[in-house]
A and B are shown apart, each in its own frame.
Chain A
Amino acid sequence: MAEQATAPAHQFDTPIQQYEASTLGMWVFLLTEIMFFGGMFLGYTVYRLLYPEAFAEGSHHLDVVLGGINTAVLIGSSLTMALAVHAAQMGERQQLIRFLAGTLGLGLVFLGIKAIEYAHKFEAHLVPGSRFVYEGPHAPQVQLFLSFYFGMTGMHALHMLIGIGLLSVLIRLAWHGRFSPDYHTPVEMIGLYWHFVDVVWIFLFPLLYLLGRH
């Protein structure tokens, strides 16, 4: 470990200062992400207040069982990500690779279940657009609800895909032994990103699937 001790980049005095600068930068990026998703959550909330019955009706077309399983899968992937950071801090290379691969695997499971849900919507003609078929007085508003559903879960899935790409790079770097207890900032930063994507889903699940369920 000692021979691998990484010197900080020349603009930093100490590795700790460099690490804290990275953390700050990552959080500023996450702030912009919070505002990005915040706008969609706000739009959803406003339309839900305008058309409460139609949105409750729309919620009934989502699959609570698959959504619930996906929530558990994503929480599990956050656990493996946190354990990967722990392994990096301890310098346990094998464990680090194992937990990163586990996180990536659970991310793929999440996207697979999401794809099944999307496929069901296509079969039921519930995808907004020219093929949308819906009987009932609230048809346009239900279509609006499903537009929010696809927009928000689609943006979330895109973030998952990016996270999976980042995890593959991390696994490669960990494989080549690039991380040590002294330097594993990329593992920590991508961990922050992964947990953030989890937090977005923590709000998406009750708002889209659960409200108006009873």
Chain B
Amino acid sequence: MAQHIVSRALYYRIFAALLMLTLLTVGVAYLDLGVLNTVIALTIATGKALLVVLFFMHVRYSSRLTWVVVSASVFWLLLLLVFTLSDYLTRSTLAGW
């Protein structure tokens, strides 16, 4: 079948990168960086998720249609998060209005 076959070496490199990012996120969690703690933790988690989705789940080599569905699901999730949080995060600043 005309599938893209990812080499084993690439899988091992992705695995090593995921482990290193896990160690990094645990290490950073013990430093007090204020708001940056959350930002860094979520950035690293998103990076790890991207590695899994693009390489382990083969999305990088998938058809355009799969790209559309994957992007749509991320977009829909962002709609859920952004619109709800834009309410909760602005309640105190807009309280006097």
Contacts and interface: CB of A to CB of B under 8 A. Distances in A.
A9 interface: no
Interface stretch (A149-157, A167-175, A206-214): A206-214
A24 B64 CA distance: 10
Contacts, number: 135
Contacts of A205: 22, 45
Give the contact-size bracket for chain A: 35 or more
A38 B73 CA distance: 10
Given A83-B11, A210-B41, A71 B49 contact: no
Nearest to B15: A79
B15 A75 contact: yes
Interface string B42-62: 101100110011011110001
Contacts of B80: 35, 38-39, 42
Secondary structure dominating the interface of B: helix
Interface in B1-59: 1-3, 5-6, 8, 11-12, 14-15, 18-19, 22, 25-26, 29-33, 37-38, 41-42, 44-45, 48-49, 52-53, 55-58
A202 interface: yes
Contacts of B2: 16
In this complex, the interface size class of chain B, counting residues with CB under 8 Å from chain A, is: 35 or more
A214 B29 contact: yes
A19 B62 CA distance: 11
Given A206-B42, A206-B45, A199 B85 contact: no
A15 B3 CA distance: 11
A198 B55 CA distance: 13
